[in-house]
Amino acid sequence: MKKDAYYFPHFSNARHDRKLKRVIKEFGIEGYGIYFMLLEVLRDQPEMKYPLSDIDLLADEFRTSEPKVKTIIANYGLFEVDKLSMFFSPKLEEYLEPYFKMKKQRIEAGKASGEKRKQKSLKQKNERPLNDRSSTDEQSKVKESKGEDKPKKPKDYLNQTYFEKSEELNSAFIDYLDLRIKNKYTMTDRAVNALITKLRKLSNGNIGTALKIIDEAIIGKWKSFYELKDK
């Protein structure tokens, strides 16, 4: 899968949609393929719209005729055209709305988390460090007051930083840990570290790929991460 590919849902019962059945009845399985290739094209556009004036380019890319592509766009109610002669899919926008909302919340949560870490770092710099000659008892009391010697509770894992280079990735990973907690999956340092190692290996260090892997794990309510399927 290309690193710059974008996500959109393809439901297993899409072929049962009456509008799409009409397309299949007239154009066969080729019409079905043209429809989903058009969705892929729209998903790649910044505003998920494409100019009707360039339909001939799509026909060449799809290796089909221009009239077929135009007919599928115009005649079945699967697409709409705006005042600027740009066609788009209301259904695609509807299906992706939860995804965009989750992504926006994740970015905002990442920014809030970054600000929280920044404030915490400033506070630690301003605190007076322990005297090198402090007794072991004094150091133990400080650790105990900070909760360092207390066993972790599952929700304690939601207040940590796992990926400092990407606030969005860190927020997404915390979302997944929250899912594990709600489903009563194992929550230990060893389990969390194993998940991080597996995520880095499957994504090959690519943040975009890692986010997609986490999204699939959240949607599927999986106990672990798995390699992305090549669509």
194 & 110 share domain: yes
Q: What's the pLDDT at 135?
A: 46
100 & 84 share domain: no
Q: What's the pLDDT at 103?
A: 67
**Run of H or E including 86:** strand 86-88
48 & 110 share domain: no
106 & 80 share domain: no
> Which residues constitute the domain of residue 61?
14-88
Q: Please list the residues that pair with 51 across neighbouring strands.
A: 86
71 & 176 share domain: no
Contact between residue 78 and residue 89 where contact means Cβ atoms under 8 Å apart: yes
- 86 φ, ψ (degrees, to nearest 5): -110, 125
Q: What is the pTM of this model?
A: 0.43
104 & 210 share domain: yes
Contact between residue 144 and residue 125 where contact means Cβ atoms under 8 Å apart: no
81 & 192 share domain: no
164 & 60 share domain: no
Contact between residue 181 and residue 151 where contact means Cβ atoms under 8 Å apart: no
Query: Of 38, 69, 88, which marks where a domain is finished?
Result: 88
198 & 224 share domain: yes
**Hey, how many other C-beta atoms are within 10 angstroms of the C-beta on 78?**
21
Domain count for the chain:
2
Residue-by-residue pLDDT tens, the chain, 231 positions:
444 455 566 665 667 788 889 989 999 999 999 998 998 888 888 888 999 999 999 999 999 999 999 999 999 889 999 999 999 998 887 777 766 677 677 777 777 777 777 777 666 665 544 444 444 454 444 444 454 445 678 888 888 889 888 888 999 999 999 989 888 888 888 989 999 999 999 989 898 899 999 988 888 888 899 988 764
52 & 160 share domain: no
For residue 42, being part of any structural domain is answered with: yes
Structure tokens at 210: 């890692």
114 & 196 share domain: yes
For residue 66, being part of any structural domain is answered with: yes
For residue 163, being part of any structural domain is answered with: yes
Per DSSP, the three-state class of 51 is strand
For residue 37, being part of any structural domain is answered with: yes
Q: What's the pLDDT at 145?
A: 47
197 & 111 share domain: yes
